[in-house]
Amino acid sequence: MSRAVPEPRKTLDPDRVAEWLARHPDFFVGREGLLQQLKVPHPEAQGATSLLERLVLDLRRRAEQAEWRLEQLLESARHNEVQFRRTRELVLALLEAEDADALGQALATQMAENFQTPAVALWCPASLTDREPRPPQPPRQILDEHASQRLAALLDGRASRCTRLTPTDWSRLLPHVTAPHQAGSCALARLTLGEPLGYLVLASPDPDHFRASMDTLFTEYLSDVLARLVLRPGPALHG
């Protein structure tokens, strides 16, 4: 008499089990004891832990991540509020300037005190200063051909840009500020309002203060405000 050959043990496909449980989320209702018997890998140590303990660990981790994300959002909101207040104070100071030199001084003061930018230059063509009773005072400068060519070359066809500034360029573009011994950095922007009106230079002796990867939205916004104020009619800005 031949012995019966046992049939091979059948095992369930884990993916099919997972799919079935996903379609029957109420499977463990009334089977809470089964939940307590299940063992899963411990996420931080060798061995296994109960499913309930693992769920508690996962929930705690999610809570910590949510708390971290909330703190990041709050920090971003606080930073944006500070930047808004500083920008508001800057624009109001520019609007209150009584003449073109006061405009430049207000710009330099606000940028140094509120935006950690110690060097500023506002380059405008001579046609905008001919009507003034005296030569422009720093940080305003009369835009000559040499400065215009160098600023245009640094911008490289763009409306604004952040880049390194060599000591030679610093001495030429910010002649009223002592040049650093090594390269500094700057944010440049064109002043335009239907026609070219000059250039805005914001500079720092720190070569990494204005990095090429930085966004220049603020610099462009500031240049747009200055372009309108430079052309503002009446005696306030033109003597």
Q: What confidence tens digit (pLDDT) does each residue in 180-195 have? A: 989 999 999 999 988 8
Q: Is the pLDDT of residue 110 over 90?
A: yes
Q: What angle do CA 161, 75, 119 make, to 5 degrees?
A: 35
Burial label, 63 (beta-carbon count in 10 A; 0-12, 13-18, 19+):
exposed
Residue extents of the structural domains in the chain: 32-95, 99-238
The class level of CATH for 99-238 reads: alpha beta
pLDDT of 216 reads 95
pLDDT above 90: percentage of residues in the chain: 60
Rounded Cα distance between 15 and 68, Å, is 34
Token code pair at residue 210? 């204005």
HSE-CB of 130 using CA atoms within 13 angstroms: 4
Q: In the beta sheet, which residues pair with residue 48?
A: 41
202-218: pLDDT as tens digits:
999 999 999 999 999 99
Q: Is the pLDDT of residue 126 over 90?
A: no
Classify 136 in phi/psi space as left (phi over 0), alpha (psi -120 to 50) or beta. beta
Mean pLDDT over residues 128-148, rounded? 85
Q: Is the pLDDT of residue 238 over 70?
A: no
- CB of 202 closer than 8 Å to CB of 216: no
pLDDT of 117 reads 96
What type of residue is 43? P
Burial label, 85 (beta-carbon count in 10 A; 0-12, 13-18, 19+):
exposed
Mean pLDDT over residues 51-68, rounded? 83
State the average pLDDT for the chain: 86
64-101: pLDDT as tens digits:
999 999 999 999 999 999 999 999 999 999 999 998 89
Q: Is the pLDDT of residue 48 over 80?
A: no
Beta-strand relationship, 48-50 and 39-41:
antiparallel
